[in-house]
Amino acid sequence: MTSTVTVSGIGGPRLTLGFDRFDRLDIDRHLAVHGKLRAPGLDDLVRMAEQVDMRGRGGAGFPFARKLMAVAARIRHPTADQTALLPGERADERGSSENVVVVVNGAEGEPGSSKDKVLLGRAPHLVLDGAQIAASALGTQRIVVAVEDDEAARSVRAAISERRMPARVVRLTERFISGESGAVVRAINGEIPIPPGVKVRASDSGVDGFPTLLSNTETFAQLAVLVSLGPDLYASAGTEEEPGTTLLTIGGTQVVEAPYGTPLQTVLDHCKVPPSPGVLVGGYHGMWLDPAGVSRALLSRAGMRRVGGTVGAGIILPLTQGTCPLGEVTRIASYLAAQSAGQCGPCRLGLPDVVRSLNALTEGAGTVEDVRRAAGVGRGRGACTHPDGTARFVLSAMEAFGADIDAHRWGGGCGLSTYGVLPLPVPDGSEGRVAIDWSRCDGHGLCAYLVPELIQLDRYGFPVVLGTDIPAWLEKDVQKAVAMCPALALRVVDGVSGATSRR
């Protein structure tokens, strides 16, 4: 909910212009603050985006101009000539520009992110300006805004009504992987909202099979700002290599607009964040920075890369003093394992193995090498980026929290409790975990055969249960294991991590 999120800025506001005066910019307030824009043609828009090296703000950082050109290459413009065709391609093989779809990806499956909800809730017309600019350049009127939040959906629908524009809002399932581009397209198409097993570019075949320009909410808002200011004025903020400002979510509750190149420590001081044993940058598919890295980090792709971090989707999560770092990492890894689509080996077996290795390390029975091995097995082999992102999160923790890991490895623990300071979705009562009644269990081992993703046998033949909520794709198998347990020792109890599984 945007009402629980504070918004502020470092330097002059652009995306958040007018937020100091209005809770929400309706069409009249929007025009008073940002003015009426004139949509440039495709060539001019591509040139402007290239001039400021505009990148997607959803995490991948893909050049926006290349996305535009990829979609444009798949359509037939009324003025297109034969010289613009690909080798061996005929003009009648291209689709009509009227069928092109522009998708605003407003999914924020990351529990620690609020920036897109803020934009859609408070400045929906700025986002729609950007979407209409892109649609006009591509010769289409088909715009879809995909959102996870009810408040954002209401705000966007009201803005669409005010503009009398032919756009629609699609409500997505709130899930960590729901913002992946393929999952968004599948959701809009009425299919199961998970990443496709085979990579398909939206620019080739997206919504309804037509070429689709899909980008993050903030990206379209930035596009509107770029057209409004022009490339030169747009580049007056930020760095020469990375012009402009960006939105950050700090600790899940503060959204800050800051110029690229701003020191990370300046942002943390602005938000009154106390000293931290580590800061997660880029969200739960991001990387941990230790205090030394935080002190040297700059808010830019290059600046973060120099200290082993990433800007990602602009999520900054400081770890609170007094909580167990390794316990927090294990808690989030358990959540990520339960959030997978379960359609490839790295997700079905690899991520649970990562959680087991972290549990063992936390208890002093495992090693960092075990964690690295488990995290590295499935890298680059998943059906989507979820296994790689989770591995990146876990492996960076092994580097950032060496002292805490040593305390667990050699001292039996660090002496700190795990307070759950890193944000997770609020449980709705439908989550479940596997539990064993040890007064009944005889070690038959059938459960480990039926759900090896969640249960394995120890050296004595007794089950060891993975401490994570039951993924949605495993629910039927778990129910079967519970029903078939010869000793009636297996059961499902309430979950705690906020995963989206159903009992």
Residues 345 and 439 in one domain: no
Average pLDDT over residues 248-264: 97
Query: Is residue 92 predicted with pLDDT exceeding 90?
Result: no
Q: What pLDDT is recorded for position 79?
A: 46
The stretch 34-55 carries a mean pLDDT of: 95
Residues 448 and 357 in one domain: no
pLDDT at 109: 83
- Whether residue 313 is found in the same domain as residue 456: no
Return the CATH number at 445.
Answer: 3.30.70.20
Same domain, 145 and 221: yes
Contact between 130 and 224 (Cβ < 8 Å)? yes
Q: Which amino acid is at 224?
A: A
What is the percentage of the chain residues whose pLDDT exceeds 90? Answer: 73
CA gap 387, 487 in Å, rounded? 35
Q: Which domain holds residue 286?
A: 250-319
pLDDT for residue 428? 65
Q: Of 15-24, 93-102, 207-216, 250-259, which range is least confident?
A: 93-102
Q: How many CA atoms lie within 13 A of 210 on its CB side?
A: 21
Of 289, 490, 458, nearest to 360 (Cα)? 458
Residues 229 and 302 in one domain: no
Tokens found for residue 402: 């060496």
Which tokens hold the place of 368? 């960092």
Residue entry with tokens 């792709």: 301
Identify the residue with better confidence: 7 or 345. Answer: 7
* More confident site: 265 or 4: 265
Q: Given CA atoms 441, 459, 465, 472 in this order, what sign does their dihedral have?
A: negative
In-domain check, residue 66: yes
Cβ neighbourhood burial of 427 (10 Å; 0-12, 13-18, 19+): middle
Q: Which of 9, 207, 182, 177 is nearest to 99 (CA)?
A: 207
pLDDT band of residue 89 (cuts 50, 70, 90) is: very low
Position 430 confidence tier, pLDDT thresholds 50, 70, 90? low
User: What is the pLDDT at residue 80?
Assistant: 42
Q: Has residue 426 got a pLDDT over 80?
A: no
Containing H/E element for 352? Answer: helix 351-362
* Total count of domains within the chain: 4
Both 404 and 312 in one domain: the answer is no
pLDDT band at 274 (very low <50, low <70, confident <90, very high): very high
> 286 and 249 in contact (C-beta within 8 Å)?
no
Q: Which of 411, 443, 467 is the last residue of a domain?
A: 411
Residue 134, pLDDT score: 96
Q: Give the pLDDT score at 262.
A: 97
| Whole-number pLDDT of residue 345 | 87
For residues 256-273, give the mean pLDDT. 97
Nearest-10 crossing angle of helices 27-34, 124-138 = 80
> Does any domain span residue 107?
yes
Tell me the pLDDT tens digit for each residue of 103-113. 999 998 889 99
- Helices 115-122 & 150-163 angle (0-180, nearest 10): 40
Question: Considering the domain boundaries, does residue 140 fall inside one?
Answer: yes
Q: Answer whether residue 398 shows pLDDT above 90.
A: yes
Query: Which residue matches tokens 């992110």?
Result: 113
Task: State the DSSP H helix or E strand holding residue 255, giving kind and residue range, or none if neither.
Answer: strand 254-259
**Boundary (domain end) residue, out of 296, 319, 342:** 319
- Residue 112 CB contacts under 8 Å (≥ 6 apart), including other chains: 249, 251, 252, 283, 284, 315, 317, 422, 423
Question: Taking the CB of residue 317, how many other CB atoms lie within 10 A of it?
Answer: 28
**Helix 124-138 vs helix 217-229: crossing angle, to nearest 10:** 80
Tell whether 373 and 338 lie within a shared domain: yes
Q: How far apart are CA 355 and CA 348, in angstroms?
A: 12
pLDDT at 498 over 70: no
In a domain, residue 367? The reply is: yes
Give this prediction's pTM.
0.88
For 141, counting Cβ atoms within 10 Å of its Cβ (0-12 exposed, 13-18 middle, 19+ buried), the class is middle
Radius of gyration of the chain, Cα coordinates, nearest whole angstrom: 24
| Residue 175 and residue 103 share a domain | yes
Per-residue pLDDT, 468: 81
DSSP strand E in 195-348: where?
Answer: 212-216, 245-250, 254-259, 279-281, 287-289, 315-318
Is it the case that residue 140 has pLDDT exceeding 50? yes
Summarize the confidence of residues 33-55 as an average pLDDT.
Answer: 95
What is the model's pLDDT at position 429? 61
Does residue 485 fall inside a structural domain? yes
The pLDDT tens digits for 462-472 are: 998 887 888 88
Question: Which of 382, 411, 440 is the C-terminal boundary of a domain?
Answer: 411
Closest CA to 118 of 147, 160, 161: 147
Beta bridge partners of 364: none
Average pLDDT over residues 206-212: 94
Which amino acid appears at position 472 of this protein?
Answer: A
Residue 195 contacts residue 104 (beta carbons within 8 Å): no
Residue-wise pLDDT tens digits, 287-343: 999 999 999 999 999 999 999 999 988 999 999 999 999 999 999 999 999 999 888
Q: Check whether residue 441 and residue 466 sit in a common domain.
A: yes
Q: Is the same domain home to 156 and 36?
A: yes
Element housing 374 (H / E): helix 368-377
